[in-house]
């Protein structure tokens, strides 16, 4: 079967601008990209992409699908549809499920259910330690054999340095990354907001920046000693940025990610005791926001992820002290970043697209994220001129926990294609 996507606009790095192109897809693979002219589409299915950006599908290497165990918040069916609405075609799900993704059986459960019910590519990340308790390492080799693409105890930091060092040795031997949630538990207990203007104004205990940076500093030294690929989750502080930049400068194999909310929002934006502004890491100070923006721009931070973290409305309604950490992110990520950084002229469109497509593919060795002949036909069509107000009631996620309600954003996906097949299309 042949599909032509005609008259779309693609980003041309050499020109530094958008150019009109026609994309031919056969059997789920891009087989040609023609610029200008009129392609021969006789006998083929055709999608007219006039006025739309055509991008390689977005890749999100840090998401929570809550399946198994917490399917009232999200499941693989709803989560992948939410991802597709946001333009994502490949997502990597974290292991803090119930049961924890710490056995080959749970990895296979995720892959099998994604094949049956999912609409985008799902890559399971397995736990570093059994039950994410930090006491005993999982069977890395068996988890890789089952289909895990890396190891993380996301949601909690590995507190024991020897445990983390041994994990890095095993991961290096298998050629897979350690994907680290960096948090020293002794510095964060009893707090939900960063040490900054909001915590001082309201007399709250704050989460200090060093709670994250201490683990980053420890782990880059362990990565240097072991030669492992060490990937830092959701970087949020100026101190973490400095340590990652230094580690890269001396050749440590470290990569890093940042979330849209840590690039756009600070603790000074928090309107009050609203649990939809409670996330981990917390929103940091404006100085930290500028540090992570600059780190993304200069390559210290490699990629953008959402850390899509759905929670049921009744859970978030418990108030800031009892509500769980986390916000949803799939369906607002690109419009939020496009509006904040590309429309204002700080970033080129090409820069944003790379950080959401080819760069995640490079960091994790994926055969995705490229708009070229021979690449998978995982594509996102976006109306850059479309302006909409964020309305959680319209989300395809089961959950609505976002601090962006009512925000006016531009650049919304209108069609998502996986392996040449449309898996979501705007009404």
Q: Where are the domains of the chain?
A: 1-52+374-423, 57-366
Asked whether the CA dihedral 395, 278, 345, 368 is positive or negative, the reply is negative
Which regions of 125-265 does DSSP assign to beta strands (E)?
A: 178-180, 193-194, 206-207, 230-232, 254-258
State residue 88's pLDDT score.
Answer: 99
* H helix or E strand, kind and range, residue 265: none
Same fold, 1-52+374-423 and 57-366: no
DSSP at 171: H
The closest of 420, 339, 370, 411 to 55, measured between CA atoms, is 370
Gap between the Cα atoms of 14 and 24, Å rounded: 22
The DSSP call for residue 320 is: T
pLDDT digits 0-9 by tens, 114-165: 999 999 999 999 999 999 999 999 999 999 999 999 999 999 999 999 999 9
The binding site comprises 62, 64-66, 96, 154, 181, 234, 280, 307, 311, 325-326
What pTM was computed for the model? Answer: 0.98
Give the mean model confidence (pLDDT) for residues 335-355: 98
pLDDT at 189 exceeding the cut of 90: no
Q: Cα separation of 130 and 134, whole Å?
A: 7
Under the banding of pLDDT at 50, 70 and 90, the label for residue 37 is: confident
Residues flagged as binding site for Zn(2+) = 62, 64, 154, 181, 234, 307
Mean pLDDT along residues 35-47: 92
| Size of the chain in residues | 427
Q: Under CATH, which number does the domain 1-52+374-423 receive?
A: 2.30.40.10
How many C-beta atoms surround the C-beta of residue 124 within 10 A?
A: 24
- Give phi and psi for 358, each to the nearest 5: -70, -30
Tokens 């897979």 found at: 176
Fold of 57-366: TIM Barrel (3.20.20)
Strand residues in 127-180 grouped as ranges (E): 178-180
Active site residues: 307
pLDDT tens digit sequence for 263-292: 999 999 999 999 999 999 999 999 999 999
What φ, ψ does residue 160 adopt, rounded to 5°? -95, 120
Name which of 108, 88, 186 is nearest 417 in CA terms: 88
Q: What whole-number distance in Å separates Cα of residue 123 and Cα of residue 94? A: 9
Token readout for 1 is 């079967």
Least-confidence region, from 36-45, 54-63, 408-417: 36-45
Where is the binding site for substrate, in residues? 64-66, 96, 280, 311, 325-326
> Per-residue b/e over 158-190, b at no fewer than 16 CB within 10 Å?
beeeebbbebbbbbbeeebbbbbbbbbeeebee
């Amino acid at each position: 079967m042949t599909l032509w996507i005609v008259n779309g606009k693609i980003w041309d790095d050499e020109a530094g601008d958008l150019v009109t192109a026609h994309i031919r897809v056969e059997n789920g693979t891009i087989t040609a990209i023609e610029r200008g002219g009129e392609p021969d589409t006789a006998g083929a299915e055709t999608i007219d992409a006039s006025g739309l950006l055509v991008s390689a599908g977005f890749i999100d290497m840090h998401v929570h699908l809550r399946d198994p165990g917490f399917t009232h918040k999200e499941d693989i069916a709803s989560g992948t549809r939410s991802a597709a609405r946001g333009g994502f075609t490949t997502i990597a799900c974290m292991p803090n499920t119930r049961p924890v993704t710490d056995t080959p059986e749970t990895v296979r459960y995720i892959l099998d259910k994604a094949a049956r019910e999912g609409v985008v590519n799902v890559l399971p990340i397995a736990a570093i330690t059994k039950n994410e308790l930090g006491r005993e390492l999982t069977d890395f080799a068996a988890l890789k054999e089952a289909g895990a693409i890396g190891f993380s105890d996301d949601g909690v930091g590995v507190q024991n340095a020897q445990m983390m060092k041994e994990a890095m040795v095993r991961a290096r031997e298998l050629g897979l990354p350690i994907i680290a949630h960096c948090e020293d538990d002794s510095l964060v207990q009893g707090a939900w907001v960063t040490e900054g203007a909001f915590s001082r104004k309201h007399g709250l205990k704050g989460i200090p920046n060093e709670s994250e940076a201490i683990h980053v500093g420890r782990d880059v030294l362990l990565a240097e000693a072991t030669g492992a690929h060490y990937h830092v989750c959701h970087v949020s502080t100026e101190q973490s940025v400095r340590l990652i930049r230094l580690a890269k400068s001396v050749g440590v194999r470290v990569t890093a990610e940042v979330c849209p909310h840590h690039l756009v929002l600070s603790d000074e934006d928090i309107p009050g005791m609203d649990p939809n502004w409670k996330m981990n890491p917390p929103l940091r100070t404006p100085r930290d926001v500028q540090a992570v923006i600059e780190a993304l721009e200069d390559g210290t931070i490699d990629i953008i992820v959402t850390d899509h973290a759905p929670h049921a409305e009744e859970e978030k309604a418990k108030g800031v002290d009892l509500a769980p950490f986390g916000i949803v992110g799939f369906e607002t990520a690109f419009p939020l970043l496009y509006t904040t950084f590309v429309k204002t002229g700080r970033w080129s469109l090409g820069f944003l697209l790379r950080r959401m497509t080819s760069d995640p593919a490079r960091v994790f060795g994926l055969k995705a994220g490229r708009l070229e002949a021979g690449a998978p036909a995982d594509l996102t069509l976006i109306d850059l001129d479309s302006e909409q107000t964020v309305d959680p009631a319209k989300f395809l996620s089961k959950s609505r926990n976002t601090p962006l309600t009512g925000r006016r954003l531009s650049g919304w996906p209108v069609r998502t294609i996986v392996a040449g097949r449309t898996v979501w299309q705007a009404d």
